[in-house]
Amino acid sequence: MARLVMKFGGTSVADIDRIRNVARHVKREVDAGFAVAVVVSAMSGKTNELVAWTRAAAPMHDAREYDTVVASGEQVTSGLLAIALQEIGVNARSWQGWQIPILTDGAHGAARIMEIDGSRLIERMAQGQVAVIAGFQGLAPDNRIATLGRGGSDTSAVAIAAAIGAVRCDIYTDVDGVYTTDPRIVPKARRLDRVSHEEMLEMASLGAKVLQVRSVELAMVHGVRTFVRSSFDDPADPRLADAENPPGTLICDEDEIVEKQVVTGIAYSKDEAQISLREVADKPGVAAAVFVPLAEANINVDMIVQNVSEDGTTTDMTFTVPTSELERAMKVLEGARSSIGYSSLQGSGDLVKVSVIGIGMRSHAGVAASAFRALAGKSINIRAITTSEIKISILIDSAYTELAVRTLHSLYGLDAA
């Protein structure tokens, strides 16, 4: 019997009626002959409420007790869904992360999964029992509950799919798949039938909120076929029973994509700030003097551009950080001024990173040039550029976000017919 993992996010289980709807989705797959494991998030808004309670109790609280509190949201949902499934005649039992067990490292609040023993799950599923698993949590080395950070239920689902050898991991959410860009900006955006793991990883890290980045990394490493679909579709819709072509987006290995688009999608991230160091001495060790203190302060640096002066003695160094970290990054660099040796430090927010993504870019020249020409035609100034085999990212003023996304979306023929 083929094993299937189904994951439902907070909006999909927001109340009892929606939990009953989820139960009908699960029953459809059980009736189709799958051995099913379900991973659930907390009910919509519940995690935020639990986090607020821990902060109200003590602003500087114990991370282990934080995990004890916030993990309870998923525990409630798993029990309620198991009850709803039993009510409609489906043999189901709830599981917490420690019962499987899902073993994590000791980083409470942002733990990483180290190992999953799926043997007990597989045994129960083979007996026809649906396993309803609380996502977002595992068991730390100190034998206490550890949570995986925001979006961790996606990671739980993919990791469990890998551990039990599932044929697919279906991620049910409030959208019906992955789109070529944000439909709120480009109404002509199309839902993609298939996206490679590599493309989805870029899209998730560059602003697309459909999947959590770590879950895509896990899916790529373990070759887990992941399907993004809507929980708000009617479970009785006959299209959903089409095992070959149900509505949604399949995230898979590149080899499964026969016709590779040059450009698959346009992503954007508004949380960008730029820092520039002027007249830095151009000598070995300067880059380390700049970026090591930022790394030690856990400040993530993204786009980096360096311009050497004509005489080769100094350089201007520009890079981006999250907007929320701009002030802290500036203070770190001011404190390291003596070791870096810059003449001036400048910082600016209100920027956006727009990215063009596609595995087809590996074998096609001129993709970047056409983007720069199109943006220049709209009088959009580019502050910084970074590229990889399947991505071009540009930094622009946030006022031009919608114009840039629409321009690039049309340029590469991504608009719906």
The DSSP call for residue 44 is T
Q: Is 268 annotated as a binding residue?
A: no
Q: Is 68 annotated as a binding residue?
A: no
Tell me the pLDDT of the chain (417 aa) as tens digits. Answer: 899 999 999 999 999 999 999 999 999 999 999 999 999 999 999 999 999 999 999 988 899 999 999 999 999 999 999 999 999 999 999 999 999 999 999 999 999 999 999 999 999 999 999 999 999 999 999 999 999 988 899 999 999 999 999 999 999 988 889 999 998 899 999 999 999 999 999 888 776 677 888 899 999 999 999 999 999 888 888 777 766 667 899 999 988 887 778 899 999 988 889 999 998 888 888 889 999 999 999 898 988 888 776 666 788 889 999 898 999 999 999 998 888 888 889 998 889 999 999 988 887 888 899 999 999 999 999 988 888 889 999 999 999 999 999 999 999 999 865
Q: Is 270 annotated as a binding residue?
A: no
Q: Is 173 annotated as a binding residue?
A: yes
Q: Is 33 annotated as a binding residue?
A: no
- Is-contact 86 132, C-beta < 8 A? no
Q: Is 362 annotated as a binding residue?
A: no
Q: Is 74 annotated as a binding residue?
A: yes
CA–CA gap between residue 372 and residue 392 (Å, rounded): 10
**End-to-end CA, the chain:** 40
pLDDT of residue 306: 82
Q: Is 391 annotated as a binding residue?
A: no
Which residue from 358, 404, 190, 356 is spatially nearest to 264, judged by alpha carbons?
358
Q: Is 331 annotated as a binding residue?
A: no
CA–CA gap between residue 410 and residue 405 (Å, rounded): 9
Q: What is the pTM of this model?
A: 0.85
CA–CA gap between residue 321 and residue 275 (Å, rounded): 8
Strands ordered across the beta sheet of 168-173? 92-95, 130-134, 35-40, 3-8, 168-173, 226-230, 249-252, 194-196
CA–CA gap between residue 74 and residue 137 (Å, rounded): 8
Helix axes 119-126, 152-164, angle to 10 degrees: 70
Q: Is 10 annotated as a binding residue?
A: yes
Q: Is 172 annotated as a binding residue?
A: no
Q: Is 147 annotated as a binding residue?
A: no
Domains in the chain with CATH codes: 3-255 (3.40.1160.10), 265-411 (3.30.2130.10)
